[in-house]
Structure 1
Amino acid sequence: MPIYEYQCSACKKISSFLLLRVTEEVEPYCKHCGDRRVTRVLSAVHVLRGEEKRIEGLLDPSRFSGLDENDPASIEKTVKRLGRDLGGEIGEGWG
């Protein structure tokens, strides 16, 4: 099942579309602002791993080596990275 991603010309955000069949057509649009001026982008390859291995990877201490707990920007960067790695997106002004 392919996932196609498109970047919006207006707001620059990425929208993803999961196709259940390769022959299925998609009419892409921005899921954030609704604009239809989008450009297909090359998306990352996703590899499925067991849940246990996934959690181990997220908790690996080396992932936090650059974290400065006294620097809000450093914390924000780490939280956003963790959000992406968990399959979500942490929006602006999260904290």
Structure 2
Amino acid sequence: MPIYEFYCDNCNVVFNFLSNRINTTSKPACPRCGKLEISRQMSTFATIGRAVEASDDMMAGMDEKRMEEAFGSLMQEAEGMNEEDPRQMASLMRKFTEQTGMSLGDTMEEAISRMEKGEDPDLIEKEMEGQLDGDDLFSFDGMKKKALSGVKPAPDHDEKLYTL
């Protein structure tokens, strides 16, 4: 009898459902919050030998290892950067979004574009007050916080077996 995995984005939980026959079309409601038609997940299967499990948290198409590598690379580059040059900071922010595949949002994109033109980050922040979150947006740590603010943690796995 097949076991299917389904993910509820409201609860951020993966659930296991047992079916008495192959069933590729049914989408159950979430056992916790009742959301209708939670999404089917690709399940891993057993292998002989040592298996390597992929990260469940793709962070908008981005795996944890790739994120760590991007942060490490950019931290090294940031060490030699002239913090008084808005173009260099904007370049670093662009590389960050390209390497991680993450979006900092439309407002931050506008701020980066203005910095690429050489505008003063303090002036940009003052003019965009209320639209930007955080007090250190144009630092590497601020950029990292902004990027990760909308990222859900890896989903929990409910160990109970539900009937499909």
Which TM bucket (shorter chain)? 0.3 to 0.5
**TM-score, normalized by length of structure 1?**
0.41
TM-score (norm 2): 0.25
Between structure 1 and structure 2, the one with the greater Rg is 2
Name the one with the larger helix percent.
2
**Higher normalized contact order (CA 8 Å, seq sep 6+, divided by chain length):** 2
